[in-house]
Structures are given as C-alpha cells and as structure tokens.
Amino acid sequence: MTNIQAELAAAFSKAIAAAFGPEAADADPQVKWAADARHGDLQANFAMGLGKRLGKAPREVADAVVAKLALGDLASKLEVAGPGFVNVTLAPAALARLVAELSADGRIGAARAARSERVVIDYSAPNVAKEMHVGHIRSTIIGDALARVLGFQGHEVLRRNHLGDWGTQFGMLVEHVRELGWKPGQKREIGDLNALYREAKARFDAESDFAERSRLRVVALQGGDEETVALWRELVEESKHHFAEVYETLGVLLDSGDYYGESFYNPMLGDVAAELERSGVATVSDGALCLFLPAFKGKDGSPVPLIVRKGDGGYGYDTTDLAAIRHRIRDLKADRLVYVTGAPQKQHFAMIFEGARVAGWLSEGVRAEHVPFGSILGDDGKPFRTRAGESVRLQDLLAEALERAYAIVAAKSPDFPEEEKRAVARAVGIGAVKYADLSNDRIKDYVFDWDRMLAFEGNTAPYLQNAYVRVMSIFRKAGVEHASVLGQAPSVDAPEEHALARHLLAFGDVVEQVARSLEPHRLCTWLYELAASFHHFYEKCPVMTAPDETVKRGRLALCAAVAEGLERGLSLLGIATVKRM
RNA sequence: GCGUUCGUAGCUCAGCUGGAUAGAGCGACGGACUUCGAAUCCGUAGGUCGCAGGUUCGACUCCUGUCGGACGCACCA
C-alpha cells in the first residue's frame, strides 16, 4: 500500500536535489494535507524556508522544483500559489486506485510498523478492596485504545494492570476480616468489599490497639505468614472478579493474564535496593536509602529523592516502580514503556525514569513515556462527583450509560427485538462514554455531560455509529454486501466524492500520529471528519438514483471504503458499530 | 518559593513536528423530508487565539515575562 504523503515527500526531495544540488537535498519538502480544498489535496511548503537559505525568491525556488518534479500520473494539477506553496491536486484515476487498494487491504492503508517493538503498557491500575470509580476510567479507556493502536501497527503489546494489591492497608484489612471470624478456604459471600475496607479504616483510626494489631499483621503478611497470606489472597481474588465484571461491561482488552499488581514486584524490592546501594547510586539520608536526583528540588531548594528503602526498612511505591521498570527493561526486554496515569504523577514518573537512567537500566534504544491525562469535571467545573459529594462508582456510571442509551433506542426504534435494543444500547452507551473521554486532548480536564456525549450531533460516538448505520442502510437498500465491493474503483468525480476519497487516504498518517504522540483524540478527529464528509456526499451524491450504473457502482465502492474506515477507526478506540440502530 | 500544566466564539472543544482568510458541535436566527434513515443536512450571525514583548519570510503553535485556574514538591499511590 502506498502512503501518498510519503510518496510525494520523496518525489519532492528528489526534485529539490535535482534543482539545487546536494547542498539543498536535506531540505524537508514539508508535504502536508491541505487544510483548505482550494489549496488542492496536499501541499509542499519547502519553498519559503529554502528560498531564504539559498537567497532566492521562494516562488522561483518552487517553480524550479516543480519543473524537476516527477509525479507520474499521481497529480492532475500542480500550482505554485501565495508566497511559494506548491499545491498538489490528485488525479482522479490515481485517487480511485489508491482508495480501491486501501478498502481491500483490511488496514485502510495503514502500514505496519517497519520494526515491531515490544511495548509494555501500564494502565487501569485499580486498588484491591476498593471499588473502581471514575478516577480509573480514563486510564483504562485511554490505555486500552493505545494498546489497540500499537497492536494494530504490529507491535508486541504487553498489557500490565498494576493493581494496588499490596501495602500497609492490607494489614488493616486482613486483621479486620480475621477478627470477623474469617478462616482461609471458607466458602463465604463477601458482598461489599468497599464496606469492609471502610469498616477497617474506621477501626484503624478509632481503636489504637486495633491499629497496633494491624501493623503487626503487615509484618506477618510481608513475612509470609500462611494464614495472613491466604486471607490476603482471597481478598485479592474477590476484587479481581469485580474488576473483570467492569472490564467486561466496558469491553476492554484487559483480562486476568494482565494482572501484575504491586505484589508481583514485592520479591524484587530487596534486590533492587541492594543493587542501588551497592553501586553507590543510592545513599542513606535520615535513615532512609535514597536516590537523589539533582534536577528535582523540593520546597526549600534541596534535592528530593526517590525513597528506595524507608527508614523503617520497608518499601514504598518508589521502589515498586523502580523494580517494575527494571523488570520490564531487563527481563521483559521491552523497547518502549508506556505508563497511562494521571497528570499529577508526572513528576513521579520523570523521577522514576531519571532514576532508571542513573541506575543504568534505562538507556538509549528504550523509550519510557508517561501518558498523563487531566481529570473529569462535573458541569460546575469541579471534580465529577455524586450529588452527595462522593466519587462515582464506575459500575453505577456504566449502568447509567446503558440505561440512558436504552431509553434512546427504545424511543427511536421501538420495533426492534428486545435483544437488539440491548445490544444497540450497549454499543451506543459504552461507546459514548469512551468516545467522550478519548475525543478531547487527554492532557486537559474535560467536562462530563451525558446529553452531549449521547447526542447524535457533533463529535460523538452516536454520530459516528449513526453514520455507519446510514452507510449500511444504503447497502441493505441496494441488496449488496458491502464486503463484495471492497477493492473496486470508487467514483471520485464530484467534489464531495473527491473530498471523501482524499480523507480516507490520510488514515495511515493519523494512525502513525496516534502511535507517536499517544494521543487518541487525533483518530477521533479523523473519524468525525470522515463522517461529516460522508454526510456531504450523502446529500449531494445519491447512490440508488445515480445517473448511471457505473456511477452507482463507483459510489457503492466509495461507501464500502467509508464503512471500513468507520468500523476500523472505531474498533481501534474500542468502540463497537452496529448495522442498524 | 520552585516546578508542571491549561487559557481559542455565549457554552463544549479541534487546530498535525510554525505555513495561506483560525475551524467544528451546541445554543440563537433562517432554510431542506411523497427522494438511499430529517437519529440528518444547508445557510447566517458570533473570536484583538488571556495579556505584553521577542525569534521568524511567516506565530494559536517556539522563547521570555506577566495575569488567571488546576496540580506537584522525602519515607501514602
């Protein structure tokens, strides 16, 4: 499959070298998709910069390059405009051929990565014994989309769900359930783990002797005491069932094979500390083993360390994260490490990465990236909470999404069988929640608004799903399977057809952008523009009543490519499509 | 105090590694259904891109300063 942007860039580079010799050959041709249809399909913006460098007028430079340009039959029009932009309009035959190719290759023309990397992606990370709430939703949804996109590119994606399943709070929790009479291996209905946690916490704060027993219980847990460990394990297992339900509802890739909680790294902590101490990278300060990083300063201007080993001999999250990064680089041999956690943890991960570099684990050839995201706000601009001021349980949120979507489907399509109503409600409701989260630039906070995310207007999942439904409706009407016309030449003569075809060609570039920037909203923007462009076509270019059979076949072929684009694009975001709704 | 991050139309947001006259949706106003799904589409009005400098042929984009919001800064994740 040809990437038209890359192809043009190569042709321009050649022409630049031919026109101005080797000293100009390194100039970036700056081939981009034209933002405005009046400027053709793609534009090359090298002339202004190169003209400056060569001391020539930009338009002269552009003319000279265009004279050397060999595009074969790709372009129907080349023009030098404005200060020296070179506008390229794709030839109909070439455009039709390219769209036919991409509709049939199963990838909408997106290339597989030149080199398959092993990517460890860390996301979701709920806490055991606490229910998942909105705080976990962004990491889960964004991480899932990134895992899908990177996997689609042909990378080997290792999902890591860094569960909060270890630490001092488990001393408290295990002690509490033990005192409630729990015995390992008993059959029991656990019910509300959250409530157990709250009870334990309340006792911990109120009863000093319980607090003391809890501290001893932590020691027992860390020391491997059989009964303590067994009870802890049961609590963890129970939580995993809860997580699995949420992931099932949400439709994300995470499964039980992806659980690598903090406890997984626990056995490595001592060795990590020993290694850092032995190599002299970490030093003792105030009784704690610390890894000081001069670039990170605290309130008083003195360096803030990573605490490798606490003063009491225990280990905190710094050590766990150091152990995890060492393990992922040294043992898993990852090429790329991706951490999808909230923006407040930005400095923490910058320190972990710097610490890993100082320790000699993270070196050139391995990329470590934190993928920060903002918080979810209510319509009052404050953190999204229930009216009672509590954090919203993820289960409740998803249940409401399904309920609201079901009400819409029931109202619009009352004749659908019950089962289909539910299936559509699931695709639309869950899709709306995911898309609302993914379609904004992730670094920004975003305002949670049911009505907006479930609307059929604007940049929403229902709008995109509906566009897909309309495409499929055409095929239903035509009595043609959309898959049967994939690979056929589309009609690209009308301006709306041309624009739609051109937009499809950019998919591969968009996927690459998402994989590089780890910003899924770029794919959302492409999808929204695809749907909008399809609607323009839909208004102006009837398929069933096309002027002749050739145009009709060409329009069906174009529709099939659009269907592929919508379906594939949404699936990379973890969002389902339905054939009617 | 230091650092990170955000500030684009009344509201919610795009604007790709600086590129042409800054784009959408909602809301407002005005249109389009015996015609492939009107669950949609088209048009009009609406912005000194927080502010001030700077770099550049060219700045919403980069740099400096400044104002406003959010967040972070040693043994909790």
Q: Calculate the dihedral angle through the C-alpha atoms of A542, A545, A546, A547, rounding to the nearest 10 degrees.
A: -140
A161 with A257: CB under 8 angstroms? Answer: no
Residue with tokens 């990177």: A150
User: Closest nt to A307 (CA→C1')?
Assistant: B75
Residue A515: which region, alpha, beta or left (left: phi > 0; alpha: psi -120 to 50)? alpha
Q: CA separation (Å) from A283 to A219, A275, A279, A312, A565?
A: 25, 12, 10, 15, 55
Q: Which residue is nearest to nucleotide B24 (CA to C1')?
A: A458
A449-482 confidence digits (pLDDT tens): 999 999 999 999 999 999 999 999 999 999 999 9
Interatomic CA distance for residues A290 and A303, integer angstroms: 11
A158-170 confidence digits (pLDDT tens): 999 999 999 888 9
Q: Do the domains spanning A4-90 and A118-163+264-371 agree at the CATH topology level?
A: no
ipTM for the predicted complex comes to 0.96
CATH number for the segment(s) A118-163+264-371: 3.40.50.620
Interatomic CA distance for residues A10 and A15, integer angstroms: 9
Give φ, ψ of A121 to 5 degrees: -120, 120
Q: How confident is the model at residue A190 (pLDDT cuts 50, 70, 90)?
A: low
A341 with A411: CB under 8 angstroms? Answer: no
A404-451 confidence digits (pLDDT tens): 999 999 999 999 999 999 999 999 999 999 999 999 999 999 999 999
Which of these CATH numbers, 1.10.3720.10, 3.40.1160.10, 1.10.390.10, 3.30.1360.70, describes A4-90? 3.30.1360.70
Strand B at less than 7 A from CB of A320 = yes
Interatomic CA distance for residues A581 and A578, integer angstroms: 7
Strand B at less than 7 A from CB of A186 = no
* Mean pLDDT in residue range A491-507: 95
Query: Is residue A188 predicted with pLDDT exceeding 80?
Result: no
Q: Residue A301's pLDDT is what?
A: 82
Strand B at less than 7 A from CB of A446 = yes
Among the ranges given (A89-103, A152-166, A205-219, A551-565), the one the predictor scored with the smallest mean pLDDT: A205-219
Interatomic CA distance for residues A142 and A161, integer angstroms: 13
Q: Provide the residue ranges of all domains of chain A, joining segments of one domain with +.
A: 4-90, 118-163+264-371, 169-243
- DSSP string spanning A477-516? HHT--GGGGTTSPPP--SHHHHHHHHHHHTHHHHHHHHHH
Strand B at less than 7 A from CB of A117 = no
Over its C-alpha atoms, chain A yields an Rg (Å, rounded) of: 28
Interatomic CA distance for residues A183 and A189, integer angstroms: 13
